[in-house]
Structures are given as structure tokens and as C-alpha cells.
Chains A and B, each alone.
Chain A
């Protein structure tokens, strides 16, 4: 049995066919909320620290010149009321008292660390010794200041004995 020409065919000839956007809209309605839920709103970062190792004994074959070239150990101690920076071989300890209880002077710390970097260009490590009562935020800010001043290696001292022995 023969059928007559489709009505749609004749309509197509008369006017342009409109694309059916309903499936695309359905897809968008599902995909966009899904992406919004898994989208990263806060970028997390990581800060690396290294653990102290047992100090190696000095080699007997080293000449005096080589010993002089060894970078000085810089220790940053965090106390509840101040920062203290101790440089190996120097008697004077740099003290940075807090501005008010709970408010540390990070700006002065930043300046001092930058100055130390200028003086000890071959040193890339800072030892950090936090007081048990110091907040984690203070520790991280101090580490961040050190790292941003080209001290990429942060050695976390877990015992206070070394610092006080050095003093």
C-alpha cells in the first residue's frame, strides 16, 4: 500500500526546523549541580618539613677552609611571648617580643629572616623549635616566612635540649 508524502516533509520545505534543546537542557540541569558540588572552592597546599637526623661526626681530613665554608646553623625558637633566633657561633640571640598577647610580630620576624638570608647565602635550612604551648598557626606562619625568604628546608626540632645546649 502506498502512502502519501509526509506532512513533515512539506513543512520542512516551508520553514526552518527548530533544534530540540530539551535534551541539552536536561543534561545541563544534571551536570551543572554535579560539577558545583565537586568543584574546589579552597585550594589546599602542603608544607614540607624534615625531621632532625643524628649529627654526623666531623671528618678529620677536612681542612680549615672547608670548615669555614660550612653554613651556620640557624635556629628559630617559638615561645608564647616571643620569637628567638639563634645563629651558630654568635652569642647574641635575636629576640622579637610579641605585640600583644596572642599577636606575634611576624613583620619583624620576616625582616630578620630576610637579613639572615643576606648574611648566610649558602644556608638553606632553618631549625624550628616550637614551645609546646605555641599554637599550630604560629608555627605554620613562621615556617612560611622562612620558606618565602629562601630557606626551603625546615628542620622541625622535637626536643628542646639541643637549642638550650647551643645557647
Chain B
């Protein structure tokens, strides 16, 4: 291993320069071990990095359910994200606000505008020979009535493949609540 060091001048001003000139009072800061750690850290991070959009962290302010099983997106499938919070619905990766859950259930204009967007998205995905998939990210405390409504709604927009987003775990007991 290379022994590397950085020379550090601990004194300041003209007097220090004079001392160094004498060549007997310089101290070396050994950063070899630091470089070693940083190299290992860098390799570890590069190995673990994921550029997959579906592997991103969970949405802020949302608690996702935990599951042990997982499915992959169907071949040639293209996902459209919908985030359903307990108080609001956000559409797409850009988090476009759709409205509150109550608006979604009761207001016809909210439903119509969302339906139009979903249908447009489904058409554009189908036009490139892909299959539209809907990825629902919903809060674990959300009542199923909204999920059911949303699934029925998305079926109208030609989204036949529905996925729920969860946090993956290998601990079966956690899912069983033990």
C-alpha cells in the first residue's frame, strides 16, 4: 500500500517559513486510512445504487404497508403513479394535485378531469405498443372504500393491470403481526 501524506504547516507567518527552512519542525498528517475508508464506502455505494424509478424511497408523509411477496411489472408494461394520502390524491411522478378524497368521491368535475388524464395517458402508452399499468401508492390507514372506488374508476380508463406499492421485508412475522 502506498504511504501518502500531506504536509501541514502548523505555524503561520514569516517565523514559520523560517522554521521550515531549517527542516526540523514539519508535521505530517497521514490520510492513508481515510482514503482507504472512503474508497470502500464509494465502492459499496456504487454497488448498492439503484436508478430504478420504482425503487425510490416511499413518498413523504405516507406510510406504506409491508409485504414479503413482490411482483414485477408485466413485460412491456408502463406504470402510471397515483399517490392516495388520507387527505389528498396526487397524480404522476410530478405529484399533480387531483383534490381531496371527498372531492374524488363526490365531485363530478374532479372525477371527469382525472378520468380524461388517465385515458390520455393510457392511449399514449398503448400507442407505443406498451401496456398501461396503474401503480397505486396508498397510505396503510386508508379505508378500502377509496381503493375500491379508484380501481373501478381506473378500469374505465383502460388500466387493466393494477399494482399496489408496498415496502418489501423478509420478516414473515412482521406481516403476520407476531
Contacts and interface: CB of A to CB of B under 8 A. Distances in A.
A51 B152 CA distance: 9
Given A43-B168, A48-B162, A51-B160, A104 B177 contact: yes
Given A135-B140, A147-B69, A44 B48 contact: no
A30 to B, nearest CB: 11
Contacts of B72: 46
A46 B144 contact: no
A96 interface: no
Contacts, number: 164
Interface string B25-57: 000000100010010011001101110001111
A156 B151 contact: yes
B143 interface: yes
Contacts of B166: 44-47, 140, 144
Contacts of B58: 42, 44
- Which bucket holds chain A's interface residue count? 35 or more
Report whether over half of chain B's contact residues are helix, strand or loop; otherwise say mixed.
mixed
Contacts of B50: 40
A44 B54 contact: yes
A44 B161 contact: no
B67 A141 contact: yes
A145 interface: yes
A54 B106 CA distance: 28
B35 A24 contact: yes
Contact of A28 (B6, B42, B71): B42
Nearest to A140: B65
A87 B48 CA distance: 45
B169 to A, nearest CB: 9
B102 to A, nearest CB: 14
B145 interface: yes
A134 B166 CA distance: 17
7 contacts: A40-B55, A46-B163, A46-B166, A47-B70, A133-B145, A156-B162, A158-B151
